[in-house]
């Protein structure tokens, strides 16, 4: 059962902020290697926070695009496996405008979760 407040996303963001803003600067001075590791940990928590907040809607949109692209229903995993099979078999390629639109949207949403500063 989900809690009220703070949400899992808010907790992850708070922990990432604490590690990034308070702990990492201290570690950078005392042990730069450990400071680097703390930055990696804080960034990982930030990714988890964005995934908790943005992931379900992104998955739903990806699934909707795949249903339209492939012409049948299924789970997100099953639809992605089918698309991968079609790509490997040469049934689809970069000349397929609908495929490229789907891939561009999916990649953009994955980047928004993994590294929103990338663009």
- 67's CB contacts (< 8 A; 6+ apart) are 73, 74, 79
Q: What distance in Å separates the CA atoms of residue 87 and residue 67, rounded to the nearest whole number? A: 16
In a domain, 103, yes or no: yes
Q: What is the pLDDT of residues 6-15, one digit of tens each?
A: 988 899 999 9
**118 or 29, which is more confident:** 29
In a domain, 72, yes or no: yes
Total domains, the chain:
1
4: number of Cβ within 10 Å: 5
Contact of 107 with 63, CB cutoff 8 Å: no
Instruction: Quickly state the pLDDT bin for 61 (edges 50, 70, 90).
Output: very high
pTM of the model: 0.81
Nearest to 71 by CA among 89, 92, 48, 50: 92
In a domain, 38, yes or no: yes
């Amino acid at each position: 059962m989900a809690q009220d407040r703070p949400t899992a996303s808010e907790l992850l963001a708070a922990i990432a902020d604490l590690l990034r803003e308070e702990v990492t600067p201290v570690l950078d001075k005392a042990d730069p290697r450990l400071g680097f590791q703390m930055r990696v940990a804080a960034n990982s928590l930030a990714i988890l926070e964005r995934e908790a907040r943005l992931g379900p809607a992104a998955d739903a949109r990806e699934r909707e695009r795949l249903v339209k692209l492939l012409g049948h229903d299924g789970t997100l995993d099953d639809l992605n496996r089918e698309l991968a099979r079609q790509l490997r078999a040469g049934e689809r390629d970069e000349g397929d405008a609908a495929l490229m639109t789907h891939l561009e949207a999916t990649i953009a949403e994955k980047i928004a979760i993994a590294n929103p500063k990338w663009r």
